[in-house]
Structure 1
């Protein structure tokens, strides 16, 4: 259980990030049992230090978008009497594994992380054609591997087929707007002035000793190909372009505040009422796969769209990115943004920032906050 001392320790760690860990601008939000108990912000929106970072500052969060996007697809399926165990082919007949279930697709089991046919991230139709032409690298039951970019089209296309609207619009109309979430998948021009500038992380020699980064540097590796397809919008500079903010990429294009992300996790962990059925909430929270990730080259665990900490052979957590409880679930974003729910304590957490770290998993600034929160 989180105590007032834990919140105080988190605040001290948040301040230490600015003093000694290169933080530029950041926010952290903690909700417990339906109430926000902490929302702290500090620093700057850009290196010129002309725009102070406030609790209302928004920033791109890369793959922390995946959980809201997955919840959107599950909600759309539910609205049409379908669910996680529905075969994808019932909605998308030309999907390469039509017999695979939505649960298997959402938990990265369908082997479509990399595309052989060129497609641009800006062109949904090109991505869909490439997915439909792709031979899966593995099938459900043969393993799992993170789909960093293709995951967006895998969610967006079924939503479009069911609702005749892009996922970004369905998210806004049926989830974000009714719940008052200041989190956008497709940011309108009226909100552009609130967005902080992202700055890339810097690599150290030690970073390249890790298996993931060694594979990432090899052009023909599955890891490199997964993070390169669909092509385009690969640099942080491109993610600072308002065109990317407005595009509504479901795998990596979300923009919002820490408070909005943490509130979202209150909703999907059942602490705040929302539009989701019991089946949808269970799908987002329930562990589906656990083991060595064929793309990230480290153990990972997934529900239908969220991550969990992997477990060892006797059921102990191998990492603690989602708190100490086994049932904690959420999703990080490249560079350091992170959000999760801890259903056992009724808590949700979100941290967003603009000075990125070189990591696809939460770095020291986020993990330090989590350790302080639970350790005090």
Structure 2
């Protein structure tokens, strides 16, 4: 790749639009000075924001577009009116043309996936793309995929998810052999849907040096951080993600209520407020930010739509890592290695 990491930004995506995107990009640039940006958006809105940040302005090229994909648009609608000319499409197109190494958008998830899949296509050996997210755990972070790109998965797709997730974990966590688990209703081999049981058998036979398959994991293992990569299909993964986000908000509401109930509680909060802030940031899905679209011929990062500048910067940071440490090449190598081990008595071809 080039000396600089080139990041294409959909400046108009998300609930808060260009103000958060530009502020987040500026924060990320301060951490990664070897970054350049192509910013797609309404020049009248974006240019004043860029000019107020000289370092970012010097590292950026602004491309004007008047078309923005709305957050509530259906993917089919977004494709019809936003193809070729929206800020989202043009940011993806920059990766397609080789002008950028990664795209980052806080826009409509369904539209972003539809455009990315339509324009970039899936990699050879991958049947469907997936969304992988970083999940806070008791031991740090894990990767969970798929969290909503598609519903349902056969054996082949589950194996592909495991391979792609392990490649991402090797980049994000700097691990030679990330541990991988299949999400199931129990750890016993006889439990779960037939596709999951069969996928487990296939993964146990793979001769892949870049993945350490640990078998089944259960729902509570996600938060424990039992494995580096948790694999599931998109329906279950999205429910798990939304349940975790809802639980975090519920616990935060309980804490606010408890801390304001008595004068002693309020005084206690004053002494412990930094600890509560740390807990809030750890539980806030907008802070642990950035879903990676895996399996495409290009890297696309989806930021949480309601994120703030720090959260968007985290998504840009993730995109930087995916490009700088060559996620695409690692996925291709790992897919090439992921072959079932020869059965005893067979001659390997």
Q: TM-score, normalised by structure 2?
A: 0.31
Query: Is the helix fraction higher in 1 or 2?
Result: 2
Larger of the two Rg values belongs to structure:
2
**RCO comparison, higher one (Cα < 8 Å, 6+):** 1
